[in-house]
Chain A
Amino acid sequence: MNLFKYSAPSIFYPLAGRLATGFAVAAVLLLVIGLYMSFFVAPTDYKQGEGYRIMFIHVPAAWMSMLIYVVMAGWAAAGMIWRTRLSSMMASALAPTGAMFTFITLWTGALWGKPMWGAWWVWDARLTSELILLFLYIGYMALESAIDDPRRAARACGLLALVGVINVPIIYYSVQWWNTLHQGASIKMSESGGIETSMTDIMLWTLLIMTFACWCYTIAVTLTRVRNTILERESKTVWVKEMVQREEK
């Protein structure tokens, strides 16, 4: 099977529509289960009481903020290498969702930080690098809307996305490399290659379900956004006109 076939917007458009619907349904289901588990099933923490439950949104959002940036940079690189129109559309469709998750991370972190640490905000390496990530997303979107020609915009934004990707490992490892107020990772790879956690299984499962919900949400929203971009950019092509005629009948 030739995967490059799907880089043609006319073939990708209907496929993206079907995928978006499926992932949207999955996102709603997982979110309902995940939120129920977050509030009612997961046990109270021995030290933080009920306040720790904010991690069930904070941690998935933080993971998504980093993962989305890496995927965005990957699409930007693909767009530069193969010059496919779709790749840069995918990259720019991911940016708003990434910015949203970064904002949620910072916001929920501040809400948790005030009662637990005693401060809304501290300038430690983890918090500061995550704030830089938010500025990278906002810069990406601003740069894109500042350049009218989509091709030139894609090149400039692609460069920004690729340079910024260096920030992601800095965020992830900041708690190991420096003394930070932010705690270290609760879930990490052990030296033997397995996964080690310092939380109970039910907390871990709740966290994973919430994360899958965020994945499905991101995929559904991004694909929908890409479909809109495709229609906008390809509005003068034959296949769009034919599709519109079919739907008007």
Chain B
Amino acid sequence: MKARHKRMMFIVLGLVSVTAIAALVLNALQSNINHFFSPTEVVANEAPKDRTFRLGGLVETGSVKREDDGLTVHFNVTDNAEVVTVKYTGILPDLFSEGEGVVAQGKLSPRGVFEAEEVLAKHDETYMPPEVADALAKAAAQGTAQ
């Protein structure tokens, strides 16, 4: 075996072992790397009880209610399987709306309401001009009407 081939083999072996180490570490940290918990995980008691965590999902359509002070909002976060109610006092980001993704940071109250200190909008990877979005919405409306 030539010296050059030996060096090549050392590099390949090194990369394989580094990959294996990284895979094991990341696998062990799996739950800590997740940025948020889904409503299903919260309902299944997989989210932490006494400390703050993040809850992520879609804002349930028709669930957003404002209190009279104009700042406190209640809404439901869903992953189309389970639902968690969120209470938040403060200004919501521009992209926050019903049916859109959201990530809220806060604590679960004893009554099971998620009291958020911070609400971030989660954007999806779809980009299109407004005319196309309108056309799609119309087509969907016609589709359901028929």
Of B14-22, B42-50, B62-70, the one touching chain A: B14-22
**Cβ of B132 and Cβ of A46 under 8 Å apart?**
yes
Residues from 158 to 202 in A contacting B, C-beta threshold 8 Å = 162-163, 165-166, 170, 177-181, 183-186, 198-200
Q: How far is the CA of A170 from the CA of B26 in the complex (A)?
A: 9
A80 touches B11 (CB 8 A): yes
Does A6 belong to the interface (CB within 8 Å)?
no
Q: Kindly identify which residue among B7, B125, B133 contacts A183, using a CB–CB cutoff of 8 Å.
A: B125
Contact of B122 among A80, A163, A181 (CB under 8 A): A181
CB-based contact A45/B121 at 8 Å = no
Q: How far is the CA of A183 from the CA of B120 in the complex (A)?
A: 13
Docked Cα-Cα span, A77 to B11, in Å, equals 7
Which of A117, A163, A165 has the most chain B CB within a 10 Å cutoff? A117
A117 touches B36 (CB 8 A): no
B35 to chain A, nearest CB (A): 4
Cα–Cα distance between A181 and B35 once the two chains are bound (Å): 7
- The answer to whether the Cβ of A234 comes within 8 Å of any Cβ in the partner chain is no
Given A80-B11, A81-B7, A116-B93, A166 and B19 contact (CB-CB distance below 8 Å): yes
- The answer for the CA separation of A170 and B22 in the assembled complex, in Å, is 9
CB of B94 within 8 A of CB of A115, answer yes
**A82 CA / B131 CA spacing, docked (Å):** 57
A49 and B63 alpha carbons, distance in the complex (Å): 25
Contacts of B110 in A (CB 8 A): none
Contact A203 B34 (CB under 8 A): no
A118→B121 contact, CB < 8 A: yes
Interface residue count on the A side (C-beta < 8 Å): 39
Q: Which of A52, A177, A179 contacts B56 (CB 8 A)?
A: A179
Q: Tell me if A45 and B11 are in contact (CB < 8 A).
A: no
A150 CB–B CB distance under 8 Å = no
Contacts of B30 in A (CB 8 A): 178
A203 to B127, CA, bound (A): 8
Query: Is A116 within 8 A of B129, CB to CB?
Result: no
Q: Chain B contacts of A48 at CB under 8 A?
A: 95, 123, 127
Answer whether residue B77 sits at the interface, using C-beta atoms and an 8 A cutoff.
no
A170 to B23, CA, bound (A): 10
Q: 0/1 per residue, A35-49, Cβ < 8 Å to B?
A: 000000001111110
**At the interface, yes or no: A119 with Cβ under 8 Å from chain B?**
yes
CB distance from B84 to the nearest CB of A (A): 15
Give the chain A neighbours of B132 by CB distance below 8 A: 46, 200
Whether B28 is near chain A, meaning CB under 8 Å from some CB there, is no
**Residues of A bordering B, CB below 8 Å:** 43-48, 52, 55, 77, 80-82, 115-119, 122-125, 162-163, 165-166, 170, 177-181, 183-186, 198-200, 203
